Amino acid sequence: MSGLSTHVLDAVTGSPASGLEVALQDASGTELASAVTDADGRIGAVTTDTLEPGIYHLVFDTGNWFADNDIDGFYPEVDICFEIADPESHHHVPLLLSPFAYSTYRGS
């Protein structure tokens, strides 16, 4: 199964970060797609397009999400740069978010 998905969790409360806008960009910064996390903090398909091998960015609009949730945060956005080598593979890029730290990993 190919594709690109993400899941954002509020690491402070242990809750899904719902309503967070995420943009997919290519290496030049051109926006290819955007979506908003659902009630479970997930975007099951950031894009329906097949992503060719290359460098991509998922840009999480954390500043607006923090503001919407009355949280003073340090990071106005989180930009996760990653590389797709096999376009036939599924790529899952999760984000664990708190006001003053974040973490990511390649999920499954």
pLDDT of residue 16: 98
Q: What is the model's pTM?
A: 0.95
The parent domain of residue 45 ranges over 3-104
Residue in this structure with the two tokens 């894009």, named with its chain if needed: 47
- CATH label of the domain that carries residue 100: 2.60.40.180
HEC assignment per residue over the chain: CCEEEEEEEECCCCEECCCCEEEEEECCCCEEEEEECCCCCEECCCCCCCCCCEEEEEEECHHHHHHHCCCCCCCCCEEEEEEECCCCCEEECCEEEECCEEEECCEC
User: How buried is 95 (Cβ within 10 angstroms: 0-12 exposed, 13-18 middle, 19+ buried)?
Assistant: buried
pLDDT values of the chain reduced to their tens digit, one per residue, 108 residues: 579 999 999 999 999 999 999 999 999 999 999 999 999 999 999 998 889 999 999 999 999 999 999 999 999 999 999 999 998 899 999 999 999 999 999 998
What is the per-residue burial (b if ≥16 Cβ within 10 Å, else e) of 53-65? eeebbbbbbbeeb
Task: Count structural domains, the chain.
Answer: 1
